[in-house]
Structure 1
């Protein structure tokens, strides 16, 4: 019995490894998208594993303020003489976490209710569309500013949740349109004839056929949430504890870094880090489309 279980586990593991290799091979069809994927992997590893090997420099060193890059300080130092590279390494985790939380929440809400709205129709569709239209009329960033001023965000994750709860309407409308189109297809008619049930048709038939669009929407939601986080931090309305790239930008602004000629590294490092993360997310979509849309592989 144990031998059979071990063989089953080995077989399952081999299938997963083979599937992973196939996915990487498909992603390489688009060089730009594959480079974006590798950049995302590098950023995630640096942000989540790097802090275990690179200690955050918190010591003020008056004689090393705004030092340029050197063998001691790879990216120079800030307004207190602290190592910028260690701040970049430790500052990525919160940025990625906020983007993931917001992207997941907005995607789950938009895809689930958008598919249900388009497939079920009737009063369900009317209610969901009415709520969506109402939320769309609310200016999101001003609302975020008001909420941040009223509420106390003890964690950046809470901010990510709020961003996700405000960022689903556009995705819902797009998913609803696709669901309206897909429910006219023959395979949906066959599923209905077999009486497979609404849940099965929605989650096993319709949503898998929209995975390419869903994944792309998820990554775009992440980029929007990251920009919102940085904007709120610059306005002083987001959690200002610990360190992240937005806080680095805010401190560079409030400490007058722009007035010092050697401070360019302190200003540009978080800007470049955010830009690379955002660009990598966007370019990675090209390879993700190849995975979920086999027709594009013949064109690549």
Structure 2
């Protein structure tokens, strides 16, 4: 009987062990990324009632947008319902109807995808440019800071509303993404100056000095040391930029500056006002429904931004994810011994 023996050489064994360790390290990195970037933020965010309420509100708007994009809801059509039907009288038209017999709930659903894209584009544009400008200017200093600050001051000196009106009339934007960028065309300048002030104080911190002493690159210092400390401020200002985009677009649609393409909450407000929604009780709901939609979206964004502060606060994050129990126990023991 012949016994089979392992003919693998030591080099093959070393190669296999190195491959296994590489696979394990990659798996560990993925697990660490999931825990730090997904699980822990979710736990911290969900622990705040404001975040839960804000997510519920925003989920309603996202659901309406999804329903409209997938074509699961009827498009608003005139003369298909009783005119100026009050809300909650007929559940087929839960929010009532307009002077032309258009379902107001269908109007709101039809407008939601356009509004969400516009708000997202405006908020992302304003905060992204402000982060780049503010962090580079504040951290680098010197000539770079002088040049960037001068450019920011120039854009801040331009009156925002007249500039937006001129661009809106000249370009007649129908794309929601382009419209969001136009509405926040110079909003980034003031936010960039504020972020610069935050970075000026952060760059003198001891941990940033230690990173520079160790030869860490500027790019890595900004990503690892600077940005996490200004993210709560950035998130709040992202929401402010998004809310500004909502109000600016509705106001410009209301006064007729922006083109009436499709349905929009501002267009609905304009139609309601022109047809007596402000002066007759029968048409008052026509005016109130888009106002409630506007306020609800802004309120949901504010609640989520307030909850985001917990995610970027390291002390709150470690406490809520259960990583500081030993520290808390030690502090409790110290307090007990002090009382004794």
TM-score normalized by the length of structure 2: 0.79
The CA distance in 1 between the partners of 2:198 and 2:279, in whole Å, is 52
Instruction: Give matches, 1:272-287, under 5 Å.
Output: 272-287=292-307
Number of residue-to-residue matches in the alignment: 295
- Superposed displacement of residue 293, structure 1: 0.9
Summarize the Cα distance change of 1:59–1:12 in structure 2 as closer, same or farther, 3 Å threshold: farther
User: In the alignment, what sits opposite 1:224?
Assistant: 244
CA–CA distance in 2 between the matches of 1:192 and 1:134? 32
2: distance between equivalents of 1:202 and 1:22? 22
How far does residue 279 in structure 1 lie from its aligned partner after superposition? 1.0
Which is worse superposed, 13-22 or 256-265?
Answer: 13-22
1:163 positional shift: 2.2
Range that drifts further, 119-128 or 69-78: 69-78
Quick one: distance in 2 between partners of 1:264 and 1:216? 33
1:59 to 78, 98, 101: 78
* Whole-angstrom CA distance in 1 between matches of 2:36 and 2:291: 38
Q: Deviations over 1:73-118 (max 9, x none)?
A: 1111112101111111111111111111011111111011101001
Tell me if the contact between 2:276 and 2:283 (Cα under 8 Å) persists in the aligned partners.
no
Q: Give 1:41 deviation, angstroms.
A: 1.8
- What is the CA distance between 1:258 and its match in structure 2? 3.1
Matched, 1:188 2:208: yes
**Does the CA-based 8 Å contact 2:107-2:263 persist in structure 1?**
yes
The question of whether the paired residues in 1 share the 8 Å contact of 2:164 and 2:185 is answered with: no
Which range moves more in the overlay, 79-88 or 197-206? 197-206
Q: Distance in 2 between matches of 1:258 and 1:187?
A: 58
C-alpha distance in structure 1 between counterparts of 2:281 and 2:92, whole Å = 20
Shift in alpha-carbon separation, 1:206–1:23, aligned structure 2, 3 A: closer
Contact 1:79 1:257 in 2 (8 A): no
Distance 1:192 1:15, change over 3 A: closer
Larger radius of gyration: 2
Residue 48 of structure 1 aligns with which residue? Answer: 66
**What's 2:6 paired with?**
none
Contact 1:117 1:128 in 2 (8 A): yes
SS of the residue 2:238 aligns to: helix
Cα offset for 1:14? 10
Q: Which runs of 5+ in 2 are unaligned?
A: 1-21, 321-340
| 1:253 counterpart = 2:292 | no
Distance change in 2, residues 1:14/1:197 (3 Å): closer
Deviation at 1:152, TM superposition (A): 2.1
Distance 1:250 1:156 in 2: 19
TM superposition shift of 1:135: 1.5
Q: What residue ranges of structure 1 are gaps of 5+ in the alignment?
A: none
Q: Identify the structure with bigger relative contact order (alpha carbons < 8 Å, sequence gap 6+).
A: 1
Distance 1:235 1:185, change over 3 A: same
